[in-house]
Structure 1
Amino acid sequence: MTTATALAANPLWYASRAGGTVALLLLTATVALGIAVGGRARPRRIGRFEIGLLHRNLAVLTLAFLGLHIGTAIIDPYVSLSWATAVVPFGAAYRPLWLGLGTVAFDLLLAVAITSALRLRIGRASWKAVHWLAYAAWPVGLLHAVGTGTDTRLPLQLWLYAFCLVTVTAAAGWRLHRAGPARRALRVSAGLLVAAVPVLTTTFLAAGPLQPGWSHRAALSLTALGGIR
C-alpha cells in the first residue's frame, strides 16, 4: 500500500486536513479583518463593538479548529506525534521542518489568546505588542500548510491557498490606501513587503511542493536538510 493510499483510507487524516484547512481559512479571515478595519480604516456604518466581537469570534473558531487539527494528527498512529510536538517546534520525526512551522504558528496564536484573557492585568500596551504576533502566525501557518500538506497539489487546495493570499493582500492594500499620505516611506516599505508574500509563496510552490519527490524531501530531518547541497 502506498503512502497516499494509506492516508486516503485513514479517517483521522481527513479530519486533520479538514481541521487544518478550515483553521487556515478562519485565521485568514481574522487577520484580514484586523488589517482592513484597524486604525482609522474602520467602516463608518459598522460599530467598533460589532467589529471587535466578530474578530474575537473568528479567533476563537480558529483555535477550536486548530485543536481539532492538532488532536487528530496526534492520535493518528501513522505519523506518531507526541503531545509535546504541539507546543515544542521542530521536535517531530515526521516532516520536522514543516510541522515545526505549524507549531510556531500555534504558539504565536496561543500567546495572543492567553494575553487577551489577561488583558486587564498586563495593560493595553503589552497586550497590543503580543497581539501583533497573530499577523506573524498567518504566513508561518500558510507555509506549514503548503509544505507539509499531502494534498497541496490538488487544484482545490491550491485555489484555497490562492484565496488566502489574495484576501490578506487585498486587506493590507486597502489599509495602506486608507492610511493617507503620512509616513510615505513606511507605507512604501509595507507595500513592497505585502506584494512580496504572494510572489515568494508562488515561487516556493513551483520549486518545492508542486515538484515530484517533494514528499520525500519534506520528510527529511533538519540535520539531513542541512547536508543537502
Structure 2
Amino acid sequence: MILLVLMTLSVALGVLSTVRASSRLWPRFVTQHLHRNISLLAVALLIAHAALAVIDEFVNIRWWDVFVPFRGEYEPLWLGLGTLATDFIIVTVLTGLSRTRFRSRTWRAIHLTSYLGWGAGLAHGFGIGTDSRETWSVAVSVLCVGVVVWSVVVRLGTFGTERRLERHSPAGSRRQARDRERAR
C-alpha cells in the first residue's frame, strides 16, 4: 500500500508539474522536484518489493518473473500485471534519466507509460495483495484512483488557457508562423 501511495503521488505530481500555472507560494519547480524525489523513493521501494518477493520462499517467484510477465507459476495473471507495472516503470525511469536524448514529444509519449505502470500496479495489488479486500485497503485504493483522476482533470482543464497564452507569447507567434510556412 505504501508503494501504491508513492506511485500515486508520483503520477499525480508528474501530471501537475506539466500544468503551466504556478504561484509565489508554490512555484512549478517545487512540484517537479517533489515528483522526481517521490519517484526515486517509489522506485527504490519497488526494487525492494520485487527482490523480497524473489528471496522469500513462501511462494515460488523466480528472478525472471520480475521482468517477464505472465510466466510465473504463482498467480500468473496478478503477478504478470505486477511485472508489467515494473517494466513500464523501468521504461519511465530510463527515459526520465535520458530525457535530453529524445525529442520532447517522443519523450512525453514514452513517459506516459507511467500511467500504464500505475494502473497495472494497482490491479496487481488488488489481485494478489494479502490485505487487498480489507475495507481500509479498498479505501486507500479508491483514494489513489481519485487523486490520479483529479490530477488528470486539472491538467485537461488547463489546455485552453495554455493555448491562449501560447498564441499571445512571442515564442507562440514564431511557432505559429513556422507552422504556417510548413503548411505552404
Structure 2 partner of 1:133: 113
- 1:154 — aligned with what? 134
Compute the displacement of 1:154 (Å). 1.3
Aligned to 1:28: 8
Q: Distance in 1 between matches of 2:86 and 2:102?
A: 21
Judge conservation of contact 1:37–1:175 (CA < 8 Å) in 2: no
DSSP 3-state at the match of 2:61:
coil
- CA, structure 1 residues 147+126, in 2 after alignment: closer, same or farther (shift >3 Å)? same
> Tell me, which stretches of 5 or more residues in structure 2 are unaligned?
164-184
Contact 2:12 2:148 survives alignment (8 Å) = yes
Q: Percent identity?
A: 37
Of 54, 72, 91, 1:92 maps to 72
- What residue is the counterpart of 2:84 in the other structure? 104
Distance 1:74 1:145, change over 3 A: same
- Deviation above 6 Å: which 4+ runs of structure 1? none
1:97 Cα offset (Å): 0.4
What code does the residue aligned with 1:156 have?
A: W
| 1:165-180 equivalences in 2 (<5 Å) | 165-180=145-160
How many corresponding residue pairs? 162
User: 1:37–1:43: 8 Å Cα contact kept in structure 2?
Assistant: no
TM-score of the superposed pair, with normalisation by structure 2: 0.80
Aligned to 1:38: 18
Describe the SS at the equivalent of 1:80.
coil
Alpha-carbon RMSD: 2.0
Structure 1 residues 1-229: aligned runs within 5 Å: 21-40=1-20, 42-45=21-24, 46-180=26-160
Q: Which has the larger radius of gyration?
A: 2
Show structure 1 runs of 5+ residues with no match.
1-20, 184-229
Q: CA deviation at 1:174?
A: 2.0
C-alpha separation in 1, matches of 2:46 and 2:160: 36
Change (3 A) 1:122 1:63: same
**8 Å contact 1:102–1:144 — kept in the other structure?**
yes
Distance in 2 (CA, whole Å) between partners of 1:66 and 1:153 is 21
Q: Output the CA distance in 2 between the equivalents of 1:166 and 1:122.
A: 31
